[in-house]
Amino acid sequence: MTTPDAMALGGEAGEVTLAAPTGSRRNVLDLDDFTADEITSVLDDTGAMVEVLGRDIKKVPTLRGRVVVTMFYESSTRTRISFEEAGKVLSADVINMSSSGSSVDKGESLLNTGLTLQAMGVDVVVVRYPHSGAPYLLARHLPQVSVINAGDGLHAHPTQALLDLYTMRERLGTLLGAKVVIVGDVLHSRVARSNLWGLTKMGANVVLSGPTTLMPLDLLSGRDELEEDHPFAQVDVDTDLDRAIEGADVVMALRLQSERQQGGFLPSLREYIRRWQVTDARMARAKSGALVMHPGPMNEGVEISTALAHGESSVIEEQVTNGVAVRMALLYRLCAGRGSRMAQAG
Amino acid sequence: MAQIGSDRPERQIMDAQEIQRSLSRIAHEILERNRGVDDLVLVGIHTRGVILSQRLGENIQRFEGSQAPLAELDINLYRDDLQARENPRVRPTKFPVDVQGKRVVLVDDVLFTGRTVRAALDALSDLGRPKQVQLAILVDRGHRELPIRADYVGKNVPTSLDEEVKVRLTETDRNEDVIIVKLGREIK
């Protein structure tokens, strides 16, 4: 399920909202089933969590006795550590599971691993998986567990999008009407995809820029088939970055995955750098004080110049700090009300 | 959700002027007990405690000519009933001064089971070690479940458990008064 046209945008996986019977949220799978109000309330809670992270003693007791398991079937540093820190600051017990050295090595399926964790009384499972849709599978079959998608294939990375939204809102004051330019390999970016949902729901104007071969196909052909409220229907594409960047409030560079060049998506790395690297010179065309963002890990000197990545307009490190707070807000929200939900489920 | 229907019996126990007089008296009592505003911090518990602490602060400024610092405390991360709460929200805790060595006056609207105050004490101790903690309350309605009492009370109101005490302040509500609402069967 990793071909671009099977990315489950509004497809079958997108329709599985799996909301708890009481109407409160049980899972965080993507931002497509969040309303603007719910996103706003998560971002507000995130602000309160930032205060906790700024204390001398970063520890509050709220999730004492809750168990959070991170299951990462793909490499990750910041997302996994960030979830681990978020859980620990809230006093949850956090257990990290990686695919190597676990029963996955013996061929256990994702679902059976999930069922095992559920039987152990785990409250929240944070899952990263190379195939799109895997967290939905877990959510569908584990009624007593809350599932958070920490990145599935090319599909979604909702917690990254929420931390991006929070960072932008903190700096700009509001997302409404903000011009956000997302540059680079949108086609293979779950970060971009979740951001598209979040940004359009919050009323931002999104422009995608990059080589035609790396733009999502839905945008370049068959746009008429999209329903009006689909986020892709409201998004502009401009392959000329110098033009796209004009008047931008935020420029978000995406990681260029090196294997893409072998895949024939790029004529040459040098051409990519010349036309689409986000640089100081290009940022001069954006609004003054415009933000530079990157979901990490960065290829400095490829999609973003080193000077810019560590320059004044860069909020890349702030994104990482805010990532912990956003994940605290989500863990808190999912664990609240679990008592009554479990009573109903059981 | 609690809805105030026209058929639901409610009665007023304090009007705007009584609230004002109570806050004015409590401000005097705080100044008397603490001999002024030295090392004093007024800490409002979200949401209405914050508003009441601001009003107490204004009174203290008026009576004493100097201001006690104001702080805001959110106790949601310290509650003992998260499992039973749907959609809880967290609001920022704001402390403009270090709580270490201060005389803290916690301010809230209603004192009931005492669990909110218990949570507030835990939250405070995570921020530092105050010299002393006092409690100011607009309405004490009884039914304590923990050994907690208020140092300053606007009004003591005997209530039964099927009643709810609502403090309404112009900053957050349309009215300015305190009412008792008889709970209907649909409200837990």
Supply the range of the domain harboring residue B64. 10-81+90-182
| pLDDT at residue A324 in the model | 98
Q: Regarding beta strands B177-182 and B163-168, do their DSSP bridges make them parallel or antiparallel, or are they unpaired? A: antiparallel
Domain total in chain B: 1
Q: pLDDT tens-digit profile of A72-115?
A: 999 888 899 999 999 999 999 999 988 777 777 777 889 999 99
Hey, is the C-beta of B124 within 8 angstroms of any chain A C-beta?
no
Angle at A47 between CA A204 and CA B46, to 5 degrees: 125
A 8-47 residues inside an 8 A Cβ radius of B:
22-24, 41, 44-45, 47
Long-range contacts, A311-319 (Cβ 8 Å, 24+): A311/A280, A313/A283, A313/A289, A315/A167, A315/A171, A315/A291, A316/A292, A318/A167, A318/A170, A319/A163, A319/A164, A319/A167, A319/A293, A319/A294, A319/A295
Q: Are residues A151 and A197 in the same domain?
A: no
If one compares A14 and A178, the residue with the highest pLDDT of the two is A178
Q: Are residues A224 and A296 in the same domain?
A: yes
Supply the range of the domain harboring residue A74. 4-157+321-337
Which CATH number do you get for residue B131?
3.40.50.2020
Nearest to B90 among A55, A57, A332 (CB): A332
> How near does any CA of chain A get to the CA of B50, in Å?
16
| pLDDT at residue A92 in the model | 97
Evaluate if residue A335 carries a pLDDT over 60.
yes
| Poorest-pLDDT segment among A201-210, A252-261, B99-108 | A252-261
- The answer to whether position A53 is within a domain reads yes
Q: pLDDT tens-digit profile of B67-90?
A: 999 999 999 999 988 888 877 889
Evaluate if residue A313 carries a pLDDT over 70.
yes
φ, ψ of residue B132 to 5 degrees: the values are -155, 150
- Name the closest residue on chain A to residue B84, using Cα atoms: A337
- The answer to whether position A89 is within a domain reads yes
Evaluate if residue A134 carries a pLDDT over 70.
yes
- The answer to whether position A343 is within a domain reads no
| A67 CB-side CA count, 13 A | 14
Evaluate if residue A17 carries a pLDDT over 50.
no
Which CATH number do you get for residue A172?
3.40.50.1370
Q: pLDDT tens-digit profile of B92-130?
A: 999 999 999 999 999 999 999 999 999 999 999 999 999
Chain-wide mean pLDDT for chain A?
Answer: 88
Distance CA A99, CA A131 (A): 14
Q: Are residues A194 and A144 in the same domain?
A: no
Q: Are A20 and A26 in contact (CB under 8 A)?
A: yes
Provide the number of CB pairs (under 8 Å) joining chain A to chain B: 68
The set of residues, in sequence order, having a beta carbon less than 8 Å from that of A29 and lying 6+ positions away, is A13, A16, A18, A135, A136, A139, A147, A149, A156, A158
Q: Are residues A219 and A327 in the same domain?
A: no
Hey, is the C-beta of B89 within 8 angstroms of any chain A C-beta?
yes
Q: Are residues A141 and A186 in the same domain?
A: no
- The answer to whether position B34 is within a domain reads yes
Query: What are residue A51's DSSP bridge partners?
Result: none
Distance CA A237, CA A186 (A): 11
Angle at B104 between CA A56 and CA A64, to 5 degrees: 45
| pLDDT at residue A220 in the model | 62
- The answer to whether position B130 is within a domain reads yes
Mean pLDDT of A121-125: 96
Mutate to test the interface with B, among A22, A57, A62, A144 (most CBs of B within 10 A): A62
Mean pLDDT of A326-340: 88
Q: Are residues A144 and A169 in the same domain?
A: no
Reported as a pLDDT band with limits 50, 70 and 90, residue B164 is: very high
Q: Are residues A21 and A31 in the same domain?
A: yes
Nearest to A22 among B86, B89, B90 (CB): B86
- The answer to whether position A201 is within a domain reads yes
- The answer to whether position B57 is within a domain reads yes
Mean pLDDT of A294-306: 95
| pLDDT at residue B86 in the model | 79
Q: Are residues A229 and A296 in the same domain?
A: yes
Three-class SS of chain A: CCCHHHCCCCCHHHHCCCCCCCCCCCCECCCCCCCHHHHHHHHHHHHHHHHHHCCCCCCCCCCCCCEEEEEECCCCCHHHHHHHHHHHHCCCEEEEEECCCCHHHHCCCHHHHHHHHHHCCCCEEEEEECCCCHHHHHHHHCCCCEEEEEEECCCECHHHHHHHHHHHHHHHCCCCCCEEEEECCCCCCHHHHHHHHHHHHCCCEEEEECCHHHCCHHHHCCHHHCCCCCHHHHCEECCCHHHHCCCCCEEEECCCCCHHHHCCCCCCHHHHHHHHCECHHHHCCCCCCCEEECCCCCCECCCECHHHHCCCCECHHHHHHHHHHHHHHHHHHHHCCHHHHHHHHC
- Name the closest residue on chain B to residue A38, using Cα atoms: B87
Most confident of A12-21, A266-275, B149-158: B149-158
Hey, is the C-beta of B92 within 8 angstroms of any chain A C-beta?
yes
Evaluate if residue A170 carries a pLDDT over 60.
yes
- The answer to whether position B5 is within a domain reads no
Domain total in chain A: 2
Task: Give the ipTM of the model, two decimals please.
Answer: 0.84
Q: Are residues A149 and A172 in the same domain?
A: no
- Name the closest residue on chain A to residue B126, using Cα atoms: A57
| pLDDT at residue B82 in the model | 85
Mean pLDDT of A296-307: 94
Q: pLDDT tens-digit profile of B7-39?
A: 568 899 999 999 999 999 999 999 999 999 999
